[in-house]
Structure 1
Amino acid sequence: MKKSVKVLGTTLMVLTAAVTLAACGSKSGASKEDKNTISLISPDHSDVHPKNKDLWMWKQYQKKTGVTVNWEQVKDWDNKKQLILSRKTLPDGFYQTGWSNEELTKYGSQGLFKPLEKLIPKYAPNLAKLMEDDPSVAKAITSSDGHIYSLPYMSTDPLGGGRNFKLYINKNWLKKLNLKKPTNTTELANVLEQFVTKDPNGNGKADEQGFYMDSGQFGAFELMIKAAFGFNTAGRTAMENNFYIDDNDQLQYIFTDDKMKQVWEYEAELYKKGLIAKTAFSGMDYDKWVADAAKDKVGLFAWVGSDFIGASSMNNYEPIAILNGPDGKNGSLVTQSGVMGTSAFIITKEADEAKTKKMLKWVDYFYSKEGSDFGYFGKEGVTYNVDKNGNKVYVKKILDYPKGAQLGAYQYVDNVYAGFFPYLEVEEKLKSISKGLQPEVFTDDPLNHMPKQVLPGLQGTVEEANKLSTIQTDMNNYVDQARVKFVTGKWDIDKQWDAYKTQLKKIGVDEWVKIRRAQYKRYESE
């Protein structure tokens, strides 16, 4: 009996030792795996895109780098990000997720997001070179506390990457009516009037529209008109944030400026004459608009590219990049900063020093020419071929994709749709050629009509963000309501203008201007 107990005891000791060794081996394996594995959260675009873990591009990049990514993809990101931040354990990083500059500062100062400014020069040399070549990049991504908590989404092409809005005018109608492409707001009104009165589509019906888009897309058109009236002194992002910089280098709020009154008077006159579609603010969805375009009913729309109107109609339109005011002056390219997004790649507190360096090296590839091309075109012989002119053109299975070449490419590579990736965008004309399209031809020399400066989004402190949040929401809501009423004629702009400005003062426009001026002053002094 004692012998049996001894044997059993020996057996247990051997088993225990084996388990211990196995556990040690497992721990060693896990450490090796952890060293070459990163966890990232990104938005879920699986309605039009394979899951990231299944995407050809990411499989190829894993082979190239030896780094495995554990992807967690989240739908409805904006409504879920605060819940994700409250988790006990965060991912190593956030990829292509949207955070405001103020949120980056807030969570960075709380220690949730890692400061990266000291590591970028050594471990992200491609991005460091872009920052060296253009000092505004560092200004754009440096938080108000002096730290860089996120890497940018970038483009060095002012005409590319979705950076610039243009008007797109029906070139067939211009030819039919023997009209020249308009260069200023007066000429534009005259052309639109002939579009809606002279049956340029030739069907014998008065079904032609002047400016016509799906409801809710009026903003791009108004940016072009605002630029024509002199508001585009600091670029598209400034106008979208409701300010411009005057001749004395002073930041001014757009929507109380008397030039804005002129903009709305101009738009109201177009609307009154039926040159802006009556569905401009409600009642028209995207699919119906695209269908009407296919029936040749659309005279003018505004967007970053003509393909927005649908593949069957896009070639009927040519761009107007520069629109002058009624005096023939002030027109400039409605483009935004090369830093198109500041929250493209964030490393969290969960990543140790070694993993942080690895992640920076991993993502920095996409700020190089080689990485940029890989992220957009893929690999020669697999996703693209090189034509006789040396240009990359997607393979037939992508070009013939039922939903278009852009979404066709999106089945293989990442940086072709949705945007806000930690990447350097490919030059726009090369993107067009890759999809079998002719690059846009401009007759108004847009690159020689740049704004005086092109500001990125201004960095604010957490305190400033708290003060602005309520003021800005209330101001924007009031301006949106006023725009509809002024343009559609429900409010008489001459009689209501002073009352409108008084209401904005009550909401807090003076405090808003004070805060924004402080942010602009900081930007200039950096």
Structure 2
Amino acid sequence: MMLKRTKFLAAGMILFSSAFTLTACGSTSAATKEDPKTISLIAPDHSDVHPKTQNLWMWKEYEKMSGVHVNWETMKDLDQKKQLILNRKTLPDGLYQTNWSNDELTKYGSQGLFQPLEKLIPKYAPNLNKLMEEDPSIKKAITSSNGHIYGLPYMSTDPLGGGRHFKLYINKKWLDKLGLKKPTNTTELENVLEQFVTKDPNGNGKADEQGFYMDSGNFGSFELMIKSTFGFNTAGRTAMEAGFYIDDKDQLQYIYSDPKMQDAWKYLAELYKKGLIAKTAFAGVDHDKWIADGSKEVVGCYAWVGQEMSFGEKVGSEYVPISVLSDADGKNGATVTQSGVMGTSAFIITKAASEAKAKQMLKWVDYFYSKEGSDFGYFGKEGVTYNVNKDGNKVFVDKILNDPKGASLGAYQYVDNVYGGFYPYLEVEERLKNIGKGMAPEVFTDDPLSHMPKQVLPNLQGTTEESAEIASIQTDLNNYVDQARVKFVTGKWNLDTQWDSYVAQLKKIGLDKWLEIRRAQYKRYEED
């Protein structure tokens, strides 16, 4: 009914506008016919876990607050359908919560499909502009190599929150039962995991305990923590995930050809050989089985960005975080966190939007980069989705806290920014999010804020030419490293006798060219 009424009002405005234009000028134009307060957005379809976007409480409420009506079009598997969208005869006004690479933003922006926003942001997005002025690295992260900003960020100012911060989570019940301390370095971690799998800490008389155990395909989260202990966390998590670190001479280096990576894989291979890493690390366990096994108390350690992961608040609370893990000599301990700009394409305005609409769209989305808008996007409205406790903190109402699938999915039935990521907004501080879900805030005994990397880089921006040249090299390098990782860690390849031939293959794929391009991108980033 609301949609029909909005369309009727819009139609009335069009008729009025057309009549006025005919009288004044004797002609009409598309610009005078449109209603800038009605916009069309494509977004991912999450209707399997929350109401359809157009029916979500938050968006109905925000329409009342903003006076802007959104015609939502949602799509499953949106990341795989991006090219189909661009090939349409008529584009939507904008793209919401999408995940385009920096290279894609530059490519399609240069082609005129995405509108440049850098001149509009200071006037029509004052909240985002203020964040950029307070932290110049934000602007550097979202500005393409051609000087234009084509997408707005998904971001967090909390280094320990917003999905930025990877940690190891270790089973506290098992530590206490075996009289063990939380490990602080790789030697202690190996010892703890060995006792976990040999001393029956769950007390069922079966040798069913696992050391490091996650659903297959998430081994990379554990490897991130180990790479940090071997000295690769000099530029933060994003750099490590992109395959590089910055050495002591400020030179960008490829991680997976470095002799230190050979040592890191040797350490992981030893854990795997001893059965301290689940044999299903690379295949055989889906997410549902892993959750079920967590409830059966067979998981000793996992790695992720949040305490609850998917075990839920009860089981998740039985694990304590290891935020800073050092090497055997107590060195190289650094917090595995990423840039506050975790995505650069959370909100894109396409060429289809008129100048009036583009300004309106920036005003509409900028609210979520304010403290008030951030809280609204995550918590909702007092008395409806949350109440304020005696300490002045927001706590979700009981119908959300008691949701059988957990508070996050409970809140996701009302608000949009509590589940998943890549939203165009400023994440709420992690401590406050945990309190809101009825959980105790995480307690870190290893002081992660005092162990930050030397720098925390965002994804580096490339030129159109660089992007075209590096694309196939990057894909082939990633595929080969993924293959090599499995073979080295599981012992199918020998790290002593086959390392040189492995590095030679990396060079054959195009490693030297990859390094040349990445170093040029890093140099530009430093000079900006």
TM interval, shorter chain, is: over 0.9
Deviation at 1:350, TM superposition (A): 1.5
AA in 2 matched with 1:478: Y
TM-score with structure 1 setting the length: 0.94
Render the CA deviation track for 1:237-278: whole Å, top value 9, x for unaligned.
Answer: 000000000000000000000000010000010011111111
How does 1:385-424 map onto structure 2 within 5 Å?
A: 385-424=387-426
Matching residue of 1:121 = 122
Q: Which moved more, 1:128-137 or 1:199-208?
A: 199-208
Q: How far is the alpha carbon of 1:397 from its aligned partner?
A: 0.8
The separation in 2 between residues aligned to 1:333 and 1:478, in whole angstroms, is 28
SS at the partner of 1:308? Answer: coil
| Worse-matched range after superposition: 62-71 or 308-317 | 308-317
Distance 1:428 1:22, change over 3 A: closer
Counterparts of 1:343-492 in structure 2 under 5 Å? 343-492=345-494
C-alpha deviations, 1:411-433, integer Å up to 9, x for none?
11111011101100000010001
Q: Is the 8 A contact 2:476 2:509 kept in 1?
A: yes
Who is 1:276 aligned against? 277
CA contact (8 A) 2:138 2:341 kept: yes
Q: What's the counterpart of residue 210 of structure 1?
A: 211
Q: CA deviation at 1:22?
A: 12
The equivalent of 2:26 in structure 1 is none
Instruction: Indicate the larger mover: 69-78 or 362-371.
Output: 69-78
State the AA in 2 paired with 1:126: N
* Compared CA separation, residues 203 and 502, structure 1 to 2 (3 A): same
Q: Which runs of 5+ in 2 are unaligned?
A: 1-11, 21-29
* Cα separation, partners in 2 of 1:120 and 1:174, compared to 1, 3 Å: same
What is the alpha-carbon distance in structure 1 between the residues aligned to residue 281 and residue 387 of structure 2? 42
485, 495, 498: which one aligns with 1:496: 498
Provide the C-alpha distance between the structure 2 equivalents of 1:210 and 1:276, rounded to a whole number of angstroms. 6
Corresponding position of 1:240 = 241
Q: 1:514 is paired with a residue of what secondary structure?
A: helix
CA distance in 1, matches of 2:284, 2:336: 28
Q: Which residue of 2 aligns with 1:7?
A: none
Displacement of 1:26 in angstroms is 8.4
Question: Structure 1's 71 and 309: CA in aligned 2 closer, same or farther, altered over 3 A?
Answer: closer
Q: Secondary structure at the match of 1:307?
A: coil
Q: How many residues align?
A: 506
Deviations 1:207-243 (A, max 9, x none): 1111111111100000000001110000000000000
| Contact 1:293/1:309, CA 8 A, preserved across alignment | no
In the superposition, the TM-score normalised over structure 2's length comes to 0.94
Partner of 2:8: none
Hey, what's the Cα distance between the residues in 1 that align with 2:55 and 2:414?
Answer: 9
Is residue 494 of structure 2 the alignment partner of residue 505 of structure 1? Answer: no
Deviations 1:365-410 (A, max 9, x none): 0000000000000000000000011010001111111211101111
CA shift for structure 1 position 24: 4.2
> Per the alignment, do residues 28 and 521 of structure 1 end up closer, same or farther by CA in structure 2, a change over 3 Å counting?
farther
Residues 265-312 of structure 1 show CA distances to partners (whole Å, capped at 9, x for unaligned) of 000100111111111111111111111111111111000112114124
Q: Which amino acid aligns with 2:279?
A: K
- 2:292 is aligned to 291
In the superposition, relative to structure 1, how do residues 490 and 352 fare at CA in structure 2: closer, same or farther (>3 Å)?
A: same
- The 8 Å contact of residues 321 and 442 in structure 1, kept in 2 or not, is answered as yes
Q: Secondary structure at 2:48's aligned position in 1?
A: coil
Distance 1:348 1:437 in 2: 40
1:9-60: CA deviation from partner (whole Å, max 9, x where unpaired): xxxxxxxxxxxx9994485699676232111111111111111211111111
Report the Cα distance in structure 1 between the residues aligned to 2:252 and 2:271, rounded to whole angstroms: 30
Distance 1:85 1:36 in 2: 23
Comparing 460-469 with 245-254, greater Cα deviation is found at 460-469
Q: What secondary structure is seen at the aligned counterpart in 2 of 1:35?
A: coil
Aligned-partner residue type, residue 129 of structure 2 = A
Unaligned runs of at least 5 residues, structure 1: 1-20
SS at match of 1:493: coil
SS of the counterpart of 1:163? coil
Task: Verify the 8 A CA contact 1:57 1:413 in the aligned structure 2.
Answer: yes
CA RMSD across the alignment: 1.5
Q: 2: distance between equivalents of 1:275 and 1:148?
A: 46
Q: Distance in 1 between matches of 2:525 and 2:467?
A: 16
Q: Deviations over 1:95-128 (max 9, x none)?
A: 1111111111111111111111111111111001
- Cα–Cα, structure 1 residues 95 and 297, in superposed 2: closer, same or farther, change >3 Å? same
Say which one has the larger Rg.
1
Aligned AA (2:444): F
Which one-letter code corresponds to 1:514 in the other structure?
A: E
| Equivalent position SS for 1:469 | helix
Distance 1:205 1:94 in 2: 52
Q: Tell me the distance in 1 between the aligned counterparts of 2:302 and 2:420.
A: 21
Contact 2:335 2:453 in 1 (8 A): yes
2-structure distance, mates of 1:388, 1:434: 13
Counterpart secondary structure, 2:317: helix
Give the letter for the 1:307 counterpart. E
> What residue identity is the alignment partner of 1:201?
N
Distance 1:28 1:425 in 2: 46
Structure 2 equivalent of residue 89 of structure 1: 90
CA contact (8 A) 2:14 2:35 kept: no
Which residue number corresponds to residue 319 of structure 1? 321
User: Which of 333, 336, 339 lines up with 2:335 in the alignment?
Assistant: 333
Aligned equivalents of 1:170, 1:309: Cα separation in 2: 15
Alpha carbons of structure 1 residues 28 and 250: separation in structure 2 relative to 1, 3 Å: farther
SS in structure 2 of the partner of residue 47 of structure 1:
coil
Please give the secondary structure, in 1, of the residue aligned with 2:308: helix
Which runs of structure 1 show a deviation greater than 2 angstroms over 4 or more consecutive aligned residues? 21-33
Contact 1:238 1:455 in 2 (8 A): yes
Letter in 2 for 1:148: I
Q: Which amino acid aligns with 1:51?
A: K
Give 1:266's aligned residue: 267
Distance 1:447 1:240 in 2: 21
- 2:150 and 2:235 map into 1 onto residues whose CA distance is 25
